[in-house]
Structure 1
Amino acid sequence: MDKKQFITEVEQRLTRLLSASKQGYPPTPLERHRLEGFMEAGVFIGLTSADELIALKETVCQTIFGMSIAKRIKQKSKSWPLEEIDYRRFEKPPASR
Structure 2
Amino acid sequence: MRTREDYLEEVETRLARMFRASRDGHKASPVDRHRLEGFIQAGSFLGLASKDELQSLMARVHFEVFGKSIEERQSEQANSWVLESIDYSQYDQPAYERGRI
Shift of 1:77: 2.3
TM-aligned CA distance change 1:34 to 1:79, over 3 Å: farther
Residue 65 (structure 2) aligns with: 64
TM-score relative to the length of structure 1: 0.78
Q: Does residue 54 in structure 1 map to residue 55 in structure 2?
A: yes
Match of 2:76 in 1: 75
TM-score (norm 2): 0.75
User: Following the alignment from structure 2 to structure 1, what is the Cα–Cα distance between the partners of residues 66 and 18?
Assistant: 12
- The residue that corresponds to 1:45 in the other structure is 46
Q: Give the residue type in structure 1 aligned to 2:25.
A: G
Larger Rg: 2
Query: Unaligned stretches of 5+ in structure 1?
Result: 81-97
Find the counterpart in structure 2 of residue 88 from structure 1: none
Aligned positions, number: 80
**RCO higher in 1 or 2 (8 Å CA, sep ≥ 6)?**
2
- Unaligned 5+ segments in structure 2 are 82-101
1:32 and 2:45 aligned: no
Instruction: Provide runs of 4+ in structure 1 moved above 4 Å.
Output: none
Query: What is the alpha-carbon distance in structure 2 between the residues aligned to residue 35 and residue 77 of structure 1?
Result: 24
Deviation per CA, 1:39-78: give whole Å up to 9, x if none: 0000001111000000000000100000001111111223
Percent identity of equivalent pairs? 44
